[in-house]
Amino acid sequence: MKYIDIHTHAFPDTLAERAIEGIAKVSGDIKPKTNGTVSDLIRAMDEGGVNASVIASIATKVPQFDAILNWSRSVMSGRIIPFASIHPEDGGFADKVDKIIASNIRGLKVHTFYQSHAVDEKIWFPLYDAAQEAGLPILFHSGFDVAFAALDLAHPWRFRKVTGNFPKLKIIMAHMGGWLAYKDFLKDMCGKKVMIDTSCSAGLCPIEVAKEILSRHGAENILFGTDCPWGGQKEHIRFVKDFCPDEKAQELIFYKNAERLLGITLTERE
Ligand SMILES: [Zn+2]
């Protein structure tokens, strides 16, 4: 089996230690599984048998677009697929998306908790519009967040307004469609034209609920992800096998859906 992890985090070497410490401090008892660097992510991927990983950087401030883009370009490889990020209070979204595409970058990350605007706020719409036009996928943090109080900035019901306004936008709702909000995903977004990832769900999303999501949302719409360093590769591979015993369906979840969505072929990139 091959594996593409659609959802990991890593930082420039000079920032990694501080970034990991900062997030770990507000993340309860979740112990980070890497030291936050790309080289340690690759070590974890080797241990877990993962071929390639998406790194989901987040622009938490307006001026960070270029720095994230440049760093993303510098770490891009056959095994590392960096996503760019644009703050919603930034501007020039179409130009920025053009720059992303020209850099051969395969997607964008949106994390509303760190970017201070709920997913269905109009401030995002020019960015969604540009991404939809360009066919650029957006990986959205979805559901609650361990580091924040129970805010609903990225709750499944809010995505209905996004898909309603941007029906062709390629949406990935992380964390089985909503971190600790699995029933809300089933109620509000299951069966709609979005993909979900499995990140940070092993041991949290009950297997029976994951099975229901699989049967109602379809294996072709589920992507393997870990949220490494906050989730482990091995435990998430096991999680997928537990809720999806069918091997053909596992192939879709572990790498084929990601190949199709990102426009890559793993064999050429190994
Ligand atoms: Zn994440």
d(CA 133, CA 150): 33
Task: Compute the distance from residue 8 Cα to the ligand 1 centre, in Å.
Answer: 6
Which residue range(s) make up the domain with 129? 4-269
Q: What is the pLDDT of residue 111?
A: 93
Task: Compute the distance from residue 265 Cα to the ligand 1 centre, in Å.
Answer: 24
Does the pLDDT at position 268 exceed 70?
A: no
List, for residues 208-256, the tens digit of each pLDDT value. 999 999 999 999 999 999 999 999 999 999 999 999 999 999 999 999 9
List, for residues 235-247, the tens digit of each pLDDT value. 999 999 999 999 9
Task: Compute the distance from residue 225 Cα to the ligand 1 centre, in Å.
Answer: 9
Count structural domains, the chain.
1
> What pTM was estimated for this model as a whole?
0.95
Task: Compute the distance from residue 9 Cα to the ligand 1 centre, in Å.
Answer: 6
Q: What is the pLDDT of residue 185?
A: 98
List, for residues 135-163, the tens digit of each pLDDT value. 999 999 999 887 777 788 999 999 999 99
d(CA 128, CA 118): 13
Task: Compute the distance from residue 141 Cα to the ligand 1 centre, in Å.
Answer: 7
Q: What is the pLDDT of residue 270?
A: 46
d(CA 71, CA 172): 23
**Residue 107 sits in a domain of what CATH number?**
3.20.20.140
